Amino acid sequence: MTGTTAPATHPGLLARLMEAVEPAFRAEVFIPEADDPVFTFGRCRVPPCNRPLNHAKPGLCNGHRKAWRDAGEPPLDEWAATQTRVNYGNVSFPACLVAGCNRAGGRIGLCPRHRHHWRGDGCPDPAEWAADTAYVPPCHGERDCRFTGCERWADVTAGFCAGHYARWKKAGQPADLEVFSRYSSSRGMPMLDMRDLCPQIRLELGLGLQRRAEAGDRKTCLKSLAFALTWIRETGVTSLLDLDNDAWRTQARGPSGARPTNTALTFVIDTRYHLEVLLAGGVWEREYDRDVWDLRRFARVPENTARYLRFTEIPQQWIRDLAKRWARRMISKNSGSGTIAGNVRYLGEFAQFAARQPNGCRKPEQLTRHTVEAWLAWMQAEGVHVATRKHKISGISVFLDTVHTLGWEQRLPRTAVVIPGDGPKALPSKPRFLSEVVMRQCEDEINLAKFPNRHGELLLRIVMACGLRSKDAAWLPFDCVVRDNSSAPYLAWINHKVGQRAAFFPITDKLVSLIREQQDRVRTRFPGGCSLLFLAETDNPRGDKPLPRKTWVHHLTAWLADIELVDEHGHRVHVTPHQFRHTLGTRLINANVPQHVVQELLDHMSPAMTAVYARLHAKTVREHWERAVTVNAQGEIIQLAEGDPLSNAAWTRVSLGRAKQTLPNGYCGLPLVRDCEHANPCLTCPMFLTTPDFLPQHREQRGRTLTIIESARAAGHDRIAEKNTRILDNLDKIIETCERCDDGEVVFGGKVAQLDDAS
């Protein structure tokens, strides 16, 4: 392929390219700026060199990388600190091994003239042959290489030494030595040489480079794009549009059918798309009539989410047309890609069911309420899971309501709708919170220090402490700490599930400090600043891509295996990130935080949603129950009548203050004027009061009681053993309750009561 103008195989394309491609991307040899975030990979780690790189690892330019490998790949930082700059363009090539010859030696150390004689002698050892060979000047004499700074003699008629002559030919034999000097100096730097391609192909590739630079969402190695130039030369095309994507894939595989170079092939396919958009006049003009839409063409689609909308699954053309209109509306409303793809998929399944009906619903008037009811019954009969049915019914309901409300299809019967109550009742949700045994392991500082990386550890801490969804945590803004009027810190986050709504959660000073450290790490990586706190490690040249959820979950899974997370029974536990959100809600509600406050903290839309997350523990339910009823020493419930002295916490204080009769392990709670029916040792009395101060006596009595029971059973005295067994049971209850008491609390009637310091 030569540099002549190619025929216009796509009318209007060349003119539009001339308008669209900026001057920086029209050069025959594209050389990006030294610190370009897309096309360069940093600078050489040797301080005096500092050349831009066209590859990521090991962080050295071509010359220093070769020298480092020749040195045996020593520790990189130490080695780089001892190196000097490689003089790329103006370096003189090594001289010929023959003494007195100043021509440039080749791969075996001999200049072309002496290499010819060496071959005539049978190709012996070059060094030995050179040592035995005397230099004989040519009859026409010697002259210096034309390349500025080169110390060798010229070896050919062009006036260059052999080394610079080969480089000059590769540069296209420029007549201007300054142009050749610049080319020679740029060797090893990122560049794309398109001089032998026709002008339109160069403009097309320039458009691809320009769009890649504008997107800024992935690093692009220009050296890898050279494969694309080879394919263009081999096919002889005059435009990338001359072949479709499949043909380019076949060309990339080559005769062997091997897997093609992804970078170059992806660049060709992406550039073809931009050319099609340019010809069509816009993205929608190019995409709308197609039956498969690529959501990446309309907005950035998060990794590991649905990317394509396939309308080919809809048999009826009229429904397919409405589906495209509906999808375009959802895209324009910035609906999530998963929601859009799911709704289109549900509509395809509904349309396929309708196509199996006797009339096939080939016309809008044939889709009636009867069709909808038949579909609902079919899903139930097929055993579609309740949650899945609810999602599908919701999607079809929105579709039909949208068509009716906006008047997209007047022939569609107004009764063809999904009415409230058509869907199945939701199954009661199962508790998903983690036990405190599991949470203590997750929150253990020693375990947290084992997380594979510090930013992932911080994200885990935030998810556990604030209950954020993993996506919301991964998308935290860089400046995510705000303070109220009293300087109390809060985490400012965006609820992506509910309309991109701003929300706030109180955080500790320790968490604030850890967030500051992460901000410092981000500033170090992107001194110019960026908008996110957690960044993708790869394909993120501008720092605007968030940490992929899949990446963090992978690290989380590895960490859980590393710390050998187990439950209270010693069994391994599988944990999902969302369970931390359920656990936080459950902790808050069991700490007597009002439900409306929990709803605000978790940023739920309704109390019902909060109720799904925040579950009362059985222990909490028991404690609230015991506040309403009391239990006597036999474990029987005593209902408290209104006005009963036991319903007033002050009764405990007054009774204890009036207790004058001291027992070995407590006090009698009855006034002195009352008779005691429980002679010994008062443990079965419902009015018995004690405090943790008497725990030693209780434990000592328990030991004596066990001895009595064992002796009685050995002697066959069952009655004595039975009576003391009841006392032992009461002692166990009293000891367990005393151990739960805090300062200022007493045990009364087998339960904890508050004691005020009054007599």
For residue 23, name the pLDDT band (cuts at 50, 70, 90): very high
Tell whether 347 is covered by a domain.
yes
Same domain, 135 and 227: no
Backbone dihedral region for residue 58 (phi beyond 0: left; psi -120 to 50: alpha; all else: beta): alpha
Candidate ranges 340-349, 581-590, 696-705; pick with highest mean pLDDT: 340-349
Q: Are strands 489-495 and 688-690 parallel, antiparallel or unpaired?
A: unpaired
Q: What pLDDT was estimated at residue 1? A: 40
In a domain, 587, yes or no: yes
Average pLDDT across the chain, whole number: 82
Q: What share of the chain in percent tops pLDDT 70?
A: 82
Boundary of a domain, candidates 185, 208, 239: 185
With beta carbons less than 8 A apart as the criterion, state whether 352 and 359 touch: no
Residue 747 lies in a domain: yes
Parent domain of 489:
436-616
Q: Is 524 within a domain?
A: yes
- Within 10 angstroms of residue 164's Cβ, the number of other Cβ atoms is 28
For residue 302, name the pLDDT band (cuts at 50, 70, 90): low
Q: Does 291 have pLDDT greater than 60?
A: yes
> What confidence tens digit (pLDDT) does each residue in 625-649 have?
555 554 444 445 444 444 444 333 3
User: Does residue 600 sit in the same domain as residue 636?
Assistant: no
Q: Indicate whether 527 and 490 sit together in one domain.
A: yes
Using the 3D structure, point to which of 152, 167, 185 is the last residue of a domain. 185
- Tell whether 612 and 633 lie within a shared domain: no
What tokens appear for 185 in the block? 């100096």
Same domain, 449 and 500: yes
Burial class (CB in 10 A: 0-12, 13-18, 19+), 705: buried
Q: Are residues 457 and 596 in the same domain?
A: yes
DSSP assignment of 423-440 = SPPPPPPPP-PPPHHHHH
| The pLDDT of residue 2 is above 60 | no
Which of residues 406, 426, 445 is at a domain's end? 406
How many domains does one find in the chain? 5
The answer to the question of residue 101 being in a domain is: no
Range with the lowest mean pLDDT among 233-247, 518-532, 550-564, 745-759?
Answer: 745-759
pLDDT score recorded for residue 669:
47
Instruction: Name which residue leads in pLDDT, 327 or 181.
Output: 327
Q: Token pair 């999530």 is at which residue? A: 336
Section 330-344 average pLDDT:
89
Whole-number pLDDT of residue 739? 80
What pLDDT does 754 receive?
63
**pTM to 2 decimal places:** 0.59
* CATH of residue 456: 1.10.443.10
- Select, from the ranges 358-367, 523-532, 594-603, 676-685, the one with the highest average predicted confidence (pLDDT): 358-367
The predicted pLDDT at position 679 comes to 36
Mean pLDDT value of segment 555-582: 91
Question: According to the model, what pLDDT value does residue 260 have?
Answer: 58
Q: Are residues 647 and 697 in the same domain?
A: yes
- Residue 55: the pLDDT is 79
Residue 246: DSSP 8-state: H
77 occurs within a structural domain: no
In tens, the pLDDT along 250-260 reads 888 877 655 65
Same domain, 648 and 603: no
Domain shared by 525 and 473, yes or no: yes
pLDDT per residue as tens digits for the range 657-685: 333 333 455 444 444 334 444 434 566 66
Same domain, 460 and 557: yes
pLDDT of residue 675: 40
User: Within this chain, do residues 519 and 591 fall inside the same structural domain, yes or no?
Assistant: yes
pLDDT at 659: 36
Residue 348, C-beta contacts closer than 8 angstroms, at least 6 positions apart: 310, 311, 313, 314, 323
List, for residues 305-327, the tens digit of each pLDDT value: 678 899 999 999 999 999 999 99
Kindly state whether residue 100 falls inside one of the protein's structural domains.
no
Q: Let me know whether 554 and 443 are in one domain.
A: yes
pLDDT of residue 313: 94
The answer to whether residue 161 is domain-embedded is yes
Residue where the block lists tokens 């044939």 = 366
pLDDT digits (tens, 9 = 90+) for 727-744: 888 888 888 888 877 766
